[in-house]
A and B are shown apart, each in its own frame.
Chain A
Amino acid sequence: MPLQKITFQVLVEKALNQPGFFDGLKRNPIQTLKNAGLAPTPQIITALKQLDYDDIQNVAIACDPKVGPAC
């Protein structure tokens, strides 16, 4: 796998269309970072554990064209 940084654009793409990536960061951050070609340092793992992944998932739901505006 080519090792490269995750750009903001790729991150947004993953947030909105690949919920598995965020599930992976939440449940198995080391493997998920490795799969993304990034080194899982203790500082990064600690920082990742403090993130609220539900907040990101809620944006994905809100921006899902298949769901559409409710109300």
Chain B
Amino acid sequence: MFPILQLPEWLVDTLSVKPDLEFQQSLIHSSVNGYFYVRLIDDVMDGDRNPRLQRSILPVAGFFCAQFQSCYQHYFPSQHSFWRKFQELWIASCESAAHDASLHTISWSDFERIASRKYSAAGIPVAAVCYYYDHPELIAPWLEFTYKLARWSQMLDDMLDWHADRRHQRATYFLSEGERQKPAGESPDQWVVQEGYAWGFELLERWMHDLRSRANELGSPDLQAYLERREAWLLQQKSIMKKGFAALSQLATILDEASLLPESSVAKEADDCAEIAHA
């Protein structure tokens, strides 16, 4: 789960200020509503839930959007620099989501330009903290970290959802890379099982190393602890995939050796096997 609610809090903890709890509660309220808004739009665009129900609740998106924005109006006057940043991040997020949905294949540069930008709105509460506590110089490094973490999270999602994405014909960088890397005649599933997952985890591990180094520079112990947990979890998933895909490949080989016999012969084979199966 992307730590959209925690990032502003971790940032505050690095500042020598007395935290304003009411402000931080407002940020959480705003981000929860922003998350519901993005989630609703995303689900409708993905089309993997009940389309009729989604269409009927789509107008609620307006409520979530208003709640998301109005929290900030209480703290920043209309001419405040915060609003320029707000517009920049919010529009980047919307543009990237729309652009991402229109792609049939995703290159590395598409992924770099779009995937992490889809999460741009997650930088809004981060920027709000920087302005509210008068540390605008921290906006750039924290947003850069947010983008890198977003890229990591997007890649992880793409890897774990690869089969559902393929079934629903959703373009992702992971599956697009599979199409590019797999030998001719091999199915995308074979690529994922035989090499794709290992390639993806290697990339995620490398990016995590970079994230941890950046987190160290940002000076947040909670952020570092979070990344440590994510890294441990990643290694656990890698091990699960490795074992499971090895068993699946083994099973594919076994079943490939199985003959297609006429049904009349199957009964006799079954009798011969019964003893072994019940041993």
Contacts and interface: CB of A to CB of B under 8 A. Distances in A.
A52 B162 CA distance: 23
Interface in A1-47: 3-9, 11-13, 15-17, 25, 28-30, 33-34, 36-47
Contacts of A58: 240, 243-244
A52 B247 contact: yes
B260 to A, nearest CB: 5
Nearest to A22: B251
B259 A39 contact: yes
B259 A38 contact: yes
B254 A44 contact: yes
Interface string B235-270: 001001101111110111011111111010110011
Interface stretch (B107-115, B121-129, B142-150, B187-195): B187-195
A19 B274 CA distance: 23
B160 A42 contact: no
A44 B241 contact: no
B270 A59 contact: no
B256 A5 contact: yes
A57 to B, nearest CB: 8
B104 interface: no
Contact of A51 (B1, B247, B263, B273): B247
B163 interface: yes
Nearest to B190: A8
A4 B257 CA distance: 12
B269 A48 contact: no
Interface residues of A, number: 49
Given A3-B260, A11-B248, A39-B269, A62 B237 contact: yes
B233 interface: yes
A48 B248 CA distance: 11
Nearest to B244: A59
Interface of B: 1, 48, 153, 156-157, 160-164, 187, 189-190, 192-193, 229-230, 233, 237, 240-241, 243-248, 250-252, 254-261, 263, 265-266, 269-270, 272-274, 276-277
Given A12-B193, A39-B269, A63-B160, 11 more contacts: A28-B277, A29-B273, A34-B270, A36-B255, A39-B260, A41-B259, A41-B269, A46-B276, A49-B276, A63-B161, A69-B157
12 contacts: A5-B255, A12-B193, A29-B273, A29-B277, A30-B274, A30-B277, A33-B258, A38-B255, A41-B259, A41-B273, A55-B246, A71-B233
